[in-house]
Amino acid sequence: MRRIPFIFMACTIIFNIIGFEVKSQSKRKTSGNAPIFSNVLYQGNDQVYKDHPLAENEFYNPILQGCYPDPAITRKGDDYYMVCSSFAMFPGVPIFHSRDLVNWKQIGHVLDRTSQLDVHDTGISAGVYAPSITYNAGNDTFYMITTAFAGGLGNFIVKTKDPLNGWSDPIKLGFDGIDPSLFFDDNGKAYVVHNDAPDAGKEIYKGHRVIKIWEYDVASDKIIAGSDKIIVDGGVDISKKPIWIEAPHIYKKGGRYYLMCAEGGTGGWHSEVIFVSDSPKGPFKPAPNNPILTQRYFANERTNKVAWAGHADLVLGPDNKYYGVFLAIRPNEKDRVNIGRETFILPVDWSGEFPVFENGLVPLAPKLKTPAGIKNRTGQDGFIPNGNFSFAEDFSSEKIDYRWIALRGPREAFIERTKGGLRITPFESNIKQMKPTATLFYRQQHNSFSFTTTMQYKPNSEKDLAGLVCLQSEHFNYVFGITKKDDEYFLILQKNSRKNNGTEVVSTVVANCKVDISNPVQLKVESKGDEYSFSYNTGANGFVNVGGVVSGDILSTNVAGGFTGSLIGLYATSGNDATVSNLQ
């Protein structure tokens, strides 16, 4: 995945780790006017799934809808484990388990403690990038290695004997660059490969990167100083100035070493390429048929468009056939990317010298055949749903669903279960600040969807606000919530967007109306592709629209930039800035 320049990490504010631990983990005193949310219902309604119903032996692609980018996968016996990037989301690095590569359950997050992840004052697209997960049969241990642009971590590993039983605190590694992955050879040796900048003075063009390898000491969990070597310079053919060679993985097959990387940046030229060598330290020869996966050669206005495919990882499937997981995007009708980079899978033909993703060089189809003997149980028995599905939540479970996340700090710092639903204790920070906010987020997983919740709330002043937020980043979002003006209560729709790619965020109250809060109020956001609308229901006359139809452009990667998808949040703040003077 193409990354924020390293100057970004150098320019982040110095972290006060001790202060963050105290602030984020201690429970705030419950505010007397804290909102209580209940009866959340998310419903997906994409046309592609209506047009392509599943047969009995089929399943939908992507396998993880919404912002689950940069997948990596490993296998131990009959168990498969997959992780994805999480950036400034907390907890970090969602982890999934499967026995058949079709039906997946989320089993938690790798980084679920502030001792493992400190993102408390970083932008949404910083934090954790491109995790890689590897099982080492030599010591029966799982490793997750990644780069964190926050908390002073840089490149680090965590490890465990059992992914269901938590992971270690981070072990920092002493090298620069991004996208590290581990390779454990069958002779006991281990290696780290990663993306890095060319040696000083040797950068030929913008986007020129290299793949570097280090020997790794398993006993001490350290790279071996002086063992580093550049094994790919630029990409498949440096004379063509390829950009952003990254996300490397090494595989061993038939006694030879295969290096697979992403190339071309994470946008429209994204691809996957493969090299081979007789040694893990090279020299590596590119395959003559590169790329082995891409969607870059097709008409932009194609039906059910899937694009930006790349950043892949391979695993041997239960049918003794190889499969590859990778990221790609499904833009809306205006070619905007609101739901972010998602996780896809394809079978891989490795009958020849080099692997090739089956149907990975033609326009990707919305569904696949299940492997022989595998039954599609997605959306059943705790398996993650895909296609058009509903997700209902009343917050009555003892443990909050893993799909609910926070930004920059633990959910537990502001949520509390009650008989009536989930109480969210407001923070003084608001959604535009690079601080932890009292917001519980759910990923937008469809281009067309609805999200409804019931809220009981009585603000004390115009500084108090609670409701829904649709957020692409701290700089681009919509806030739809209830606040107070004098002795009356108002529902406002606020648009926040950064001006001219600078640092200034312009806030506009799109619309507002008086609202009766004597009973709980239902709040709803709906999207039909690029068109979003917000409405409320007090039980008197059904849902009433506020603000008409607004553009989802600010909720897209195209406008907002960054690497995440749009999130829908249950939000409370005592730092509302849609002041009385803003209300029309």
The catalytic residues are 70, 246
3-state secondary structure of 321: coil
Residue 67 CB burial class (10 angstroms; 0-12, 13-18, ≥19): buried
The alpha carbon of 244 is separated from its chain's Cα centroid by a whole number of angstroms, namely 20
- Please choose, from the candidates 397, 442, 394, the residue with its C-alpha nearest in 3D space to the C-alpha of residue 420: 394
The encoded tokens of residue 67 equal: 């912002």
Contacts of 346 (CB under 8 A, 6+ apart): 61, 293, 323, 324, 326, 357, 358, 359, 360, 364, 368
d(CA 92, CA 106): 13
Residue 297 CB burial class (10 angstroms; 0-12, 13-18, ≥19): exposed
Q: How many C-beta atoms lie closer than 10 Å to residue 580's C-beta? A: 12
d(CA 175, CA 194): 10
Residue 491 CB burial class (10 angstroms; 0-12, 13-18, ≥19): buried
Strand order in the sheet with 79-83: 72-76, 79-83, 92-98, 105-111
Apex CA 255: angle with CA 254 and CA 259, to 5°?
90
The encoded tokens of residue 347 equal: 């079978």
3-state secondary structure of 50: helix
Q: Do 98 and 105 touch, CB atoms closer than 8 A?
A: yes
In eight-state DSSP terms, residue 394 is: -
> Which region, left, alpha or beta, applies to residue 140 given φ > 0 means left and ψ of -120 to 50 means alpha?
left
**CA Rg value for the chain:** 24
d(CA 236, CA 274): 8
Q: Distances in Å between the alpha carbon of 424 and those of 31, 416, 452, 473?
A: 9, 7, 17, 21
The encoded tokens of residue 240 equal: 């063509």
Per this entry, what is the length of the chain? 584
Contacts of 306 (CB under 8 A, 6+ apart): 295, 328, 329, 330, 344, 363, 364
